[in-house]
Amino acid sequence: MLDMIGIDSIEVRKVQQLSEIDGLIIPGGESTTIVKLLNMFDFVDDLKLHVESGMALWGTCAGMIVIARELADPYPTPINLIDIGVSRNYFGRQVDSFEAELNIKGIEGDPMRAVFIRAPIVQSTGDNIETLATVPATDDHPEQAVAVKSGRVLATSFHPELTRDTRLHSLFVQLAEDARIDENRTNAKRRLTEEPASKV
């Protein structure tokens, strides 16, 4: 999706690479595995420092679970990079996956088609959280937030990479561009690069 809008990207596998980027996407997948790997390879503390310094961050589906403040489920333990409470698999199992048309704040034009696969939901938000999109209430569920933002941290319940619509990716790229020209972020990258790196 980033290639489609002319953005070069790298796969981040080592902690040191966090100083080479201004935006990080934690994608969908298996949230428990992602959290285990982040801890196993000593990413958590460094990632928090980078986000605090202004790096843009986007968690999609499982990624949203990973970066949440708290989880309604017993596992995994999220790493608290955005002040939201999240519930996993809120809409049900794989067979309950669905698509919906969403009006997303900050995205101009027609509603965006969103693909929900074993999707989590935002159940609670802190004071500085901006809700960008919700799914309407149904007989089974109340209206719920599915896209939220706090500063340069973005979280979405759905998989925006499963359509050809790049508007949300473009919004995130703008957050990363803002980080790139942020003097505080530049100074923090320099400081974090000069300090002894975490393991790996």
| DSSP-derived secondary structure for 104-172 | -TT--SSPEEEEESS--EEEEE-TTPEEEEEEPP-SS---EEEEEEETTEEEESS-GGGSS--HHHHHH
pTM: 0.90
What domains are defined for the chain?
A: 3-189 (3.40.50.880)
Q: What pLDDT digit, counting tens, does each position of 33-60 carry?
A: 999 999 999 999 999 999 999 999 999 9
- Residue 112 in tokens: 């965006």
Residues classed as catalytic: 61, 159, 161
Top pLDDT among 56 and 188 is at 56
Q: What pLDDT digit, counting tens, does each position of 141-165 carry?
A: 788 899 999 999 999 999 999 999 9
* Band of pLDDT at residue 196, cut at 50, 70 and 90: low
**Whole-number pLDDT of residue 95:** 58
Q: Lowest mean pLDDT of 41-45, 67-71, 107-111, 141-145, name the range.
A: 141-145
98/109 Cα distance (integer angstroms): 22
2-6: long-range pairs with CB below 8 Å, 24+: 2/169, 2/173, 4/164, 4/166, 4/169, 5/166, 5/169, 5/170, 5/173
Instruction: Summarize the confidence of residues 183-190 as an average pLDDT.
Output: 81
Q: Is 44 exposed, middle or buried (0-12, 13-18, 19+ CB in 10 A)?
A: middle
